[in-house]
Amino acid sequence: LNKLVMYMYFSFLYPVVEVNFYINIERNLFKGWQIEHGKQYINQEEAEKRFQIFSKSLKTIKEFNNRVDRTWEMGLNEFSDRTFEEFASIRLMMPQNCSATKGNHVSLGFEPPAQINCLEKGNFVTAVKNQGSCGSCWTFSTTGCLESATAIHKEGNPLVSLSEQQLVDCAQAFNDHGCNGGLPSQAFEYIHYNKGLMTEADYPYQGVDGKCHFVASKASAFVKQIVNITKGNEDGIKEAVGLLNPVSIAFDVAKDFRHYKSGVYSSTLCGNKASEVNHAVLAVGYGYTSNGQDYWLVKNSWGPQWGINGYFKIERGSNMCGLADCASYPVIV
């Protein structure tokens, strides 16, 4: 009888000990993560709430990374203590309906290279920036594209960081909405008709909607023509990136994407309609993995700590998450 009682006692005790052991590990991991990302909370109640969300994120990441069919890896990052809804409210824009379904990109008549990385071609891409808590990704996609196009095609190859804040403050007449979203194609239209975009140094980023204070004499980059690539035409994007310059694209960010760490992202959770895009980015290259999986190399605007030093790879050839429905680039003056 005593042996039976002891067995029953330990059979109940061990699971509790095991659960507490893993909770302690998670709490220590959470503390280290807080230090790494400079996270501080207003009180213990908020800290506990964030730990519980962090714990769920950790579980999602572990379960996903244990899958044998995955092509990419999840990892902890600065968003791991936020729900997707909270994350979306500070990093994504309201869904934008792409109007450019039939493009004016004309084939150049040359075969683009099998793979390319504009980061390796020269000093043609500015450092990864951070949009902060403003749905202004479309401005970073726009400036990134114009920065690169100017550096590649303008005499002297000047790579200058351009002003996202000017677009946030000044482009409303072109159906762009500051921190609530917009589209690069419309931002290029604004720059064209406005006759220029100022530099980051002259019109620095604030990350909030503000009053327009564009100074024409300080305009640094100019757009002669806006080129839209026909909806769904990834071959057109490949030709433009491979033979001309990086291309602004937009896609639908689903809840799994915020955990992206490395590999070639693909998902069954995202939408693929032009009316569903909620994040604009910059395609700076393309290639294929050792096992033959095609991908786009994309510059994001969530800082260099996210993903692959601020970049990510996404499946190419299937219009993954609608990435080929809003592609555009400028012809510079």
What residues act catalytically?
A: 137, 279, 300
Q: Which ranges in 38-182 belong to alpha helices (H)?
A: 44-65, 84-91, 137-153, 164-170
Count of other CB atoms within 10 angstroms of residue 309: 13
Amino acid identity for residue 110 in this structure: F
φ, ψ for residue 139, nearest 5 deg = -70, -35
φ, ψ for residue 96, nearest 5 deg = -105, 140
HSE-up of residue 330 (Cα within 13 Å, Cβ side): 33
Q: Which ranges in 68-200 belong to alpha helices (H)?
A: 84-91, 137-153, 164-170, 184-194
d(CA 94, CA 276): 9
Q: CA torsion, points 166, 167, 173, 178, in degrees to nearest 10? A: -110
Strands 311-315 and 260-265: parallel
Cα 12 from chain centroid?
A: 47
Exposure class string for 216-234: b at 16+ Cβ within 10 A, else e: eeebbbbbeebbbbbbbbb
What are the residues facing 283 on neighbouring strands? 247, 298
Q: Which ranges in 195-323 belong to alpha helices (H)?
A: 234-243
Residue with tokens 């990302």: 37
Amino acid identity for residue 282 in this structure: L
Cα 38 from chain centroid?
A: 21
